[in-house]
Amino acid sequence: MSRLLQALLIGLALTLPVLAAAEAPAILLANVYREQVDVSRYLASEKLDGVRAIWDGQSLRFRSGKTINAPDWFLAGLPKQPLDGELWIARGQFERVSGIVRREIPDDAAWREVRYMIFELPGAPGPFSERAEQIRQLVRQANVPWLFEIKQFFPVDRGNLKKHFDEVVRGGGEGLMLHLADAPYETGRSDVLLKMKPWQDAEAVVIGHQAGKGRFSGALGALKVRTPEGKIFLLGSGFSDAQRHAPPAQGTTVTYRYRDLTAKGLPRFASFLRIRDE
């Protein structure tokens, strides 16, 4: 073996760890809102149907840890402080923003439509109410048209919260998020952060495909999926014709929505929503 070939192989070996899957950042994940919660202790905001994005001061990443290939000008306008938020365009535009931010080569014109909506400062000290004020200040200081705060408000009581919730849903929004006002920054799934939606959502892994019949003959009838708790069920609604002819592959994690759970812990009226955000 020539010295040149040896050097190339050694160089390749040294780069393999870099090519390995990116490590997912530790982030805060929401539990489901319950009526017994004391809402007066929480700040509330609209739940946006965008793509979760974490900024570490140098790079922008999906929740999986994979780098988001945003234009240089977009990144240059962000502060050096870590941020957590949603890449978002408008209500009902999830598929569009998802397609834009997942391109390997960013479409400069398309990215001009994208806003980075901030709701948290990873690792920052103090209670959430203080961090929310810091977010407002950071956005004002950055003074770029693609960086925004997600506006927070005190719901006061359940009646007022329900009024805001109904207004958002009637306007085409997904629902509300509630963040405990005096909570220090933390990660993992916690009651510090709650989501309030007309439907619940959850994730499951595709473990098989069931062929369709009748109108769906020759296409997907249902996905066979397994939840993190080990529950297995068929997910047969919510798919477009294109998705039925090119369904998510086995091993893919999908998000579905449902009304509530049966006595056996299976989702009622489960419907496919999307392939899980990276």
What DSSP assignment string belongs to the chain? --HHHHHHHHHHHHHHHHHSPPPPPP-EEEEE--TTS-GGGEEEEEPP-SEEEEE-SS-EE-TTSPBP---HHHHHTS-SS-EEEEEE-STT-HHHHHHHHT-SS--HHHHTT-EEEEEE-TT--S-HHHHHHHHHHHHHHH--TTEEEPP-B---SHHHHHHHHHHHHHTT---EEEEETTPPP--EEEEEEEEE-SSEEEEEEEEEEEEB-GGGBTSEEEEEEE-TTS-EEEE-SS--HHHHHSPPPTT-EEEEEES-B-TTSPBTT-EEEEEPP-
Q: How far is CA 141 from CA 57, 89, 130, 244, in A?
A: 15, 22, 17, 47
The per-residue pLDDT for range 24-72, each reduced to its tens digit, is 889 999 998 988 899 999 999 999 999 999 999 999 999 999 999 999 9
Does the fold of domain 200-275 match that of domain 28-196? no
Q: pLDDT-based confidence at 117, cuts 50/70/90?
A: very high
Residue whose tokens read 């391109």: 103
> According to the model, what pLDDT value does residue 278 have?
60
Question: Which pLDDT does position 14 carry in this prediction?
Answer: 36
What are 166-222's pLDDT values in tens digits?
Answer: 999 999 998 999 999 999 999 999 999 999 988 888 899 999 999 998 888 899 999
pLDDT of residue 277: 66
Q: What is the pLDDT of residues 217-266, one digit of tens each?
A: 899 999 999 999 999 999 999 999 999 999 999 999 999 988 778 888 89
pLDDT category at 146 given cuts 50, 70, 90 is very high
Instruction: Order across the sheet with 28-32: list the strands.
Output: 28-32, 188-196, 176-180, 42-46
Domain boundaries, the chain: 28-196, 200-275
Instruction: Quickly state the pLDDT bin for 164 (edges 50, 70, 90).
Output: very high
Work out the average pLDDT over 85-106: 95
Given a contact cutoff of 8 angstroms between Cβ atoms, the answer to whether 18 and 56 are in contact is no
Write the single-letter amino acid at 179.
H
pLDDT at 95: 87
- Residue 261: predicted pLDDT: 81
CA distance 178 to 232: 31
- Give the pLDDT confidence score for residue 185 in this predicted structure: 97
Per-residue pLDDT, 199: 80
Q: Which of 50, 109, 107 is nearest to 84 (CA)?
A: 50
**What whole-number percentage of the chain has pLDDT above 70?**
91
Q: What CATH number has the domain spanning 28-196? A: 3.30.470.30
Q: Above 50 in pLDDT, residue 16? A: no
Q: Does 5 score more than 80 pLDDT?
A: no
d(CA 198, CA 200): 7
**Domain 200-275 sits in CATH 2.40.50.140:** yes
Cα–Cα distance measured from residue 255 to residue 277, given in angstroms and rounded to the nearest whole number: 9
